[in-house]
């Protein structure tokens, strides 16, 4: 479709700003944030695109420009050479306009109000959680006086059709039970549950349903928001994105995926296994069609050998049964409600969950930090889970993030070193992902590992 040059007024809270607030937004978006804003805006404007190649998208729309303009009524977004897919008869699609406003809201709000420059201590665990809370609150994602009903769905963005269809049926079954959906906002297992839930929410007259997409700047270009997302939230980094999921959601369903999904599983298990979280209910279900049984068997085998047999008590595996998946999540969330009501906890934000600082500090996925990871079983299980999560995070960066791809291109593959037996298990799992076509390069290129495992 032809590129569009136009002017757009933002939606939501950005429609009611003081002149001082507008000037701050304009100043921030024209400085160091300019390129970040451009990349994230471009990802939103290509929502619905089938491409997962961030570099190719940026190259295709290299002439795209966006500028924040101060007007008497607030702000206006002037765009040049914007992707035509975001427009109908020259007018921006309303859902895209809302998502575009979310980009500006979250990126600039964090930079102005919640960054280290604004006085926030990024090394303080409580401060990090407060940043997550305030970004969610500023996005109107925290709704008090409502029962727990938000299910986080994780899984791959590039999965087989049968697995995608399965996620839709699961979303439909959860929607019938009044549950809302939160995902990483992209395609595949992030889109299917939302799409399924829209039908059941309509049947149950639960409109508008909540379809929350939580992303971060480093990955949004490879996983543009799917068209069902009606609440987009952009966290500053992957660690705050993950914390937002577990603080906001009341339970998690994990569908088939690849290395990114394994990263999410290890992150969550590392938190749930911490002694301070021993009594906190948090339903976790791993679910997929019969064709994904081997995938979950391999994940389960790796987790048990790496972290211990007792880890199995934190999750349930349900194969080829969407209804049972939805029922397990519904019943689990009832326990969450009872627990928080008894202790006077908030339903809309899980303040009671303890998250170690090691799970909150941004991991820099470069060659130095990847090689320095402590990957041995001579440490507490939740600490090993944190380090394994970082290893998988680095592989994700090398696979799909522009900065990671550039680093691999310049310096070669990441080296992942550790205990021999553990590295053998890790190598076996990663090779299984490759054999099952779960490790893909952007676009249609054959997969070439961005890592090498060294025992």
Q: How far is CA 162 from CA 100, 144, 165, 187, 289, in A?
A: 32, 37, 5, 14, 8
CA of residue 279 relative to chain centroid, distance? 26
Q: How confident is the model at residue 78 (pLDDT cuts 50, 70, 90)?
A: very high
Least confidently predicted of 155-164, 253-262, 326-335, 427-436: 427-436
Mean pLDDT within 121-131:
89
Q: How confident is the model at residue 51 (pLDDT cuts 50, 70, 90)?
A: low
DSSP state letter for 447? P
**Predicted confidence (pLDDT) at residue 72 exceeds the cutoff of 90:** no
Least confidently predicted of 27-31, 199-203, 330-334, 398-402: 27-31
Q: How confident is the model at residue 443 (pLDDT cuts 50, 70, 90)?
A: low
Q: How confident is the model at residue 335 (pLDDT cuts 50, 70, 90)?
A: very high
In the numeric block, which tokens belong to residue 68?
Answer: 């924040």
**Predicted confidence (pLDDT) at residue 248 exceeds the cutoff of 70:** yes
Query: What is the distance between the alpha carbons of residues 184 and 420, in angstroms, rounded to a whole number?
Result: 34
Q: How confident is the model at residue 55 (pLDDT cuts 50, 70, 90)?
A: low
pLDDT number for residue 48? 67
pLDDT number for residue 118? 67
Highest mean pLDDT among 61-65, 69-73, 112-116, 165-169: 165-169
Least confidently predicted of 37-51, 97-111, 238-252, 323-337: 37-51
Provide the CATH number for the domain formed by 137-455 in this structure.
3.40.50.450
Provide the CATH number for the domain formed by 4-119 in this structure.
3.30.1850.10
pLDDT number for residue 49? 62
Q: How far is CA 448 from CA 393, 395, 431, in A?
A: 17, 12, 11
Q: Over pLDDT 90: what percentage of the chain?
A: 61
Question: Is the four-CA dihedral 364, 366, 370, 371 of positive or negative sign?
Answer: negative
Q: How confident is the model at residue 59 (pLDDT cuts 50, 70, 90)?
A: confident
Query: What is the distance between the alpha carbons of residues 290 and 295, in angstroms, rounded to a whole number?
Result: 10
pLDDT number for residue 256? 95
**Predicted confidence (pLDDT) at residue 25 exceeds the cutoff of 80:** no
Q: How confident is the model at residue 346 (pLDDT cuts 50, 70, 90)?
A: very high
User: Any idea of the CA torsion for 360, 417, 407, 264, to the nearest 10 degrees?
Assistant: -40
The pLDDT tens digits of the residues spanning 108-125 come to: 777 777 777 667 788 889
In the numeric block, which tokens belong to residue 58?
Answer: 């940026």
In the numeric block, which tokens belong to residue 388?
Answer: 């394994």
Mean pLDDT within 176-187:
96
The structural domains of the chain, with segments of one domain joined by +, span 4-119, 137-455
Mean pLDDT within 208-218:
92
Query: What is the distance between the alpha carbons of residues 441 and 314, in angstroms, rounded to a whole number?
Result: 32
| Residues counted in the chain | 455
Least confidently predicted of 19-23, 179-183, 303-307, 362-366: 19-23
**Predicted confidence (pLDDT) at residue 444 exceeds the cutoff of 60:** no
pLDDT number for residue 272? 95
pLDDT number for residue 147? 95
pLDDT number for residue 135? 93
Mean pLDDT within 259-278:
93
**Predicted confidence (pLDDT) at residue 136 exceeds the cutoff of 70:** yes
pLDDT number for residue 62? 85
pTM here is 0.90
In the numeric block, which tokens belong to residue 390?
Answer: 């970082």
Are 413 and 452 in contact, with CB atoms under 8 Å apart? Answer: yes
pLDDT number for residue 117? 65
């Amino acid at each position: 479709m032809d590129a569009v040059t136009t002017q757009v007024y933002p939606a939501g809270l950005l429609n009611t700003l003081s002149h001082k607030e507008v000037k701050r937004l304009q100043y921030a978006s024209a400085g160091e944030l300019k390129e970040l804003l451009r990349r994230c805006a471009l990802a939103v404007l290509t929502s619905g695109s089938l491409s997962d190649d961030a570099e190719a998208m940026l190259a295709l729309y290299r002439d795209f420009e966006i500028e924040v303009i101060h007007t008497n009524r607030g702000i206006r977004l002037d765009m040049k050479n914007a992707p035509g897919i975001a427009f109908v008869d020259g007018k921006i699609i309303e859902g895209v306009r809302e998502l575009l406003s979310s980009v500006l809201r979250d990126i600039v709000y964090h930079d102005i109000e919640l960054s280290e420059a604004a006085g926030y201590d990024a090394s303080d665990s409580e401060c990090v959680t407060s940043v997550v809370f305030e970004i969610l609150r500023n996005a109107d994602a925290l709704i008090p006086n409502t029962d727990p009903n938000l299910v986080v769905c994780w899984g791959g963005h590039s999965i087989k059709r049968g697995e995608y269809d399965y996620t839709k049926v699961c979303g439909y079954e959860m929607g019938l039970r009044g549950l809302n959906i939160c995902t990483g906002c992209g395609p595949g297992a992030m889109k299917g549950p939302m799409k399924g839930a829209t039908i059941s929410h309509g049947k149950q007259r639960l409109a508008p349903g909540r379809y929350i997409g939580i992303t971060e700047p480093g990955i949004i270009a490879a996983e543009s928001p799917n068209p069902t997302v009606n609440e987009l939230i952009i966290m500053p980094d992957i660690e705050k994105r993950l914390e937002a999921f577990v603080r906001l959601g009341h339970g998690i369903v994990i569908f088939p995926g690849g290395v990114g999904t394994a990263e999410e599983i290890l992150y969550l298990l590392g938190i749930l296994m911490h002694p301070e979280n021993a009594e906190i209910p948090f339903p976790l279900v791993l679910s997929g069609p019969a064709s994904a049984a081997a995938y979950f068997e391999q994940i389960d085998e790796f987790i048990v050998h790496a972290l211990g047999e007792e880890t199995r008590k934190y999750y349930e595996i349900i194969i080829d049964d969407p209804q049972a998946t939805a029922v397990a999540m519904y019943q689990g969330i009832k326990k969450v409600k009872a627990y928080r009501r008894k202790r006077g906890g908030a339903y809309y934000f899980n303040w009671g969950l303890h998250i170690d600082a090691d799970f909150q500090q941004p991991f820099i996925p470069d060659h130095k930090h990847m090689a320095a990871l402590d990957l041995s079983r001579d440490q507490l299980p939740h600490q090993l889970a944190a380090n394994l999560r970082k290893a998988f995070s680095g592989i994700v960066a090398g696979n799909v993030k522009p900065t990671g791809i550039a680093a691999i291109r310049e310096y070669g593959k990441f080296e992942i070193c550790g205990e021999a037996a553990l590295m053998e298990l890790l190598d076996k799992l990663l090779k299984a992902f490759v054999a099952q076509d779960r490790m893909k390069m952007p676009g249609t290129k054959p997969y070439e590992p961005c890592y090498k495992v060294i025992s």
